[in-house]
């Protein structure tokens, strides 16, 4: 939804005549020093990575959508928008809200601090926003995304439910063509099959519906959201012809937005929108991070998804180095699926730090790997993964989750498992 807001700004255009009128609509999340110093390096100066959150806060008009008692902030949609340094291409990577990831320790905004743990990625927004501060929610979410993607986030923006609905209404609705009827109580949606124009609560329900549509997965919902956002931008480009209609649209967009300080204001947002508007349609790519049901690794977990490695790491590494990612290539690579649980790992401590092998093994088990044993190894400065020749692909899955690890075949390696020798260079907290 947040990317849709930016696309709409780019498609509609923003004239100087309404800069000052709309500036005060935008809310600011002042991140200040909330992100700390331990962050990924910026490997491609000039490019931009913007974390976009579709917020389904249960405050005010959104309260009817329910939620757990005491929770006020939720991230319903989470995306990373990468804009290339040459401004000739951009990629939007959706992160399913049910992604099982490591959430680092975060300030909760109420004077307390959470402990690092694994959980759904959208919990980061709730943890950081415990005290009701959007900046805190944004900071914890940025820290979580950076920790799991190793991608430096430059900017943040969020858009709420009601603002999204206002955008759709300002365009007199968006046409959708569901192949089957959708009846979803949680999304408050009853929609017949076939092409139709939707607005108000139906539009909101359409992008929120999940369990009653297709396979009931969050990835299926993400696909519908991406299609809807593209349709939103296309309609804005073709239908906004009068100053009045443009003004109504931009009022809805700006009132729904919360941004970091750098993006705070119509001028920087208009500049961002213009950059996206100038990118050819064929080079504006929407992806979903490669993933699979976590049930494959943990039989009792039927609710979450695990990111697929090394494919997920390849996507984020490419973006960090400002290399364009092709959707067809990502989808083709994702077909070579290896579950983490099928990778048998022996962890040996060559760092000289007592207990480091056990700590690394614990992190690998949390990520779904099958740890066969732990032990010691001769002193090692560099962390390495060795493997029999026939386990190269499984070794690649492991290496992609251990920062800096070198992988190599070894004829003397034990059959049926890969060996991780932990060197002095590995920081356990840097592991995904």
CA-angle at 426, arms to 420 and 428, nearest 5° = 95
* Rounded-to-integer distance, Cα 172 and Cα 55, Å: 23
Is 98 within 8 Å of 218 (Cβ atoms)? Answer: yes
Is the peptide bond prior to 358 cis by the omega test (within 30 degrees of 0)? no
pLDDT value for 76: 76
What whole-number distance in Å separates Cα of residue 153 and Cα of residue 136?
15
pLDDT at 12: 52
Give the pLDDT confidence of 61-81 residue by residue, as tens digits. 545 544 444 455 677 789 999
Chain centroid to CA 123: 12
What are the average pLDDT values for consecutive 10-residue runs of the chain, which has 432 residues?
Answer: 57 54 83 89 95 71 47 76 95 93 93 93 93 91 96 91 78 87 84 90 83 68 80 71 66 83 83 80 91 95 95 97 95 95 98 96 94 97 97 96 93 95 94 86
Phi first, then psi: give them for residue 51, nearest 5 degrees: -85, 125
Q: Are 316 and 305 in contact (CB under 8 A)?
A: no
Token pair for residue 307? 């990111």
- Residues 389 and 391: their CA atoms lie apart, in Å, by 6
Residues with Cβ within 8 Å of residue 276, at least 6 apart in sequence: 6, 7, 10, 83, 90, 284
Q: What is residue 68's predicted lDDT score, i.e. its pLDDT?
A: 42
The reported pLDDT for the residue numbered 88 is 95
Quick one: pLDDT at residue 217? Answer: 66
DSSP 45: B
160 secondary structure, DSSP code: E
Confidence at residue 432, expressed as pLDDT on a 0 to 100 scale: 83
Q: What is the pLDDT of residues 141-150, one digit of tens each?
A: 999 999 999 9
């Amino acid at each position: 939804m947040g990317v849709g807001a930016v696309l709409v700004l780019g498609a509609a255009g923003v004239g100087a005549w309404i800069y000052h009128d709309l500036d005060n609509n935008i809310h600011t999340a002042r991140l200040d020093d909330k992100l700390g110093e331990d962050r990924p390096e910026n490997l491609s100066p000039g490019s931009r990575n913007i974390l976009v959150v579709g917020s389904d806060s249960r405050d005010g008009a959104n309260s009817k959508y329910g939620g757990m008692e005491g929770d006020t902030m939720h991230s319903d949609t989470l995306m990373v928008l990468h804009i290339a340094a040459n401004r000739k291409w951009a990629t939007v990577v959706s992160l399913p809200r049910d992604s099982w990831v490591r959430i680092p320790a975060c300030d909760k905004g109420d004077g307390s601090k959470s402990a690092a743990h694994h959980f759904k990625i959208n919990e980061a927004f709730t943890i950081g926003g415990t005290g009701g501060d959007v900046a805190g929610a944004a900071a914890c979410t940025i820290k979580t995304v950076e920790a799991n993607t190793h991608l430096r986030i430059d900017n943040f923006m969020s858009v709420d439910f009601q603002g999204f609905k206002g955008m759709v209404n300002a365009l007199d609705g968006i046409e959708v063509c569901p192949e089957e009827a959708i009846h979803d109580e949680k999304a408050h949606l009853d929609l017949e099959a076939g092409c139709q124009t939707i607005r108000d609560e139906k539009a909101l329900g359409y992008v929120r519906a999940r369990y009653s549509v297709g396979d009931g997965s969050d990835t299926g919902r993400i696909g519908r959201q991406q299609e809807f956002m593209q349709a939103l931008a296309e309609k804005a480009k073709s239908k906004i012809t009068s100053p009045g209609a443009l003004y109504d649209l931009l009022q809805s967009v700006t009132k729904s937005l919360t941004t970091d300080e750098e993006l705070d204001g119509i001028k920087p947002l208009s500049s961002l929108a213009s950059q996206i508007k100038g990118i050819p349609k064929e080079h504006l790519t929407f992806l979903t991070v490669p993933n699979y049901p976590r049930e494959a690794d943990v039989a009792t977990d039927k609710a979450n998804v695990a990111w697929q490695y090394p494919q997920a790491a390849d996507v984020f590494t490419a973006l960090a180095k400002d290399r364009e990612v092709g959707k067809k290539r990502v989808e083709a690579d994702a077909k070579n699926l290896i579950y983490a649980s099928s990778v048998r790992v022996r962890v040996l401590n060559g760092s000289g730090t007592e207990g480091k092998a056990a700590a690394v093994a614990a992190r690998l088990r949390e990520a779904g790997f099958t740890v066969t044993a732990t032990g010691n190894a001769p002193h090692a400065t560099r962390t390495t993964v060795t493997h029999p020749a026939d386990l190269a692909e499984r070794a690649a899955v492991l290496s992609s989750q251990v920062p800096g690890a070198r992988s190599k075949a070894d004829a003397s390696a034990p059959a049926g498992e890969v060996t991780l020798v932990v060197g002095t260079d590995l920081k356990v907290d840097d592991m995904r």
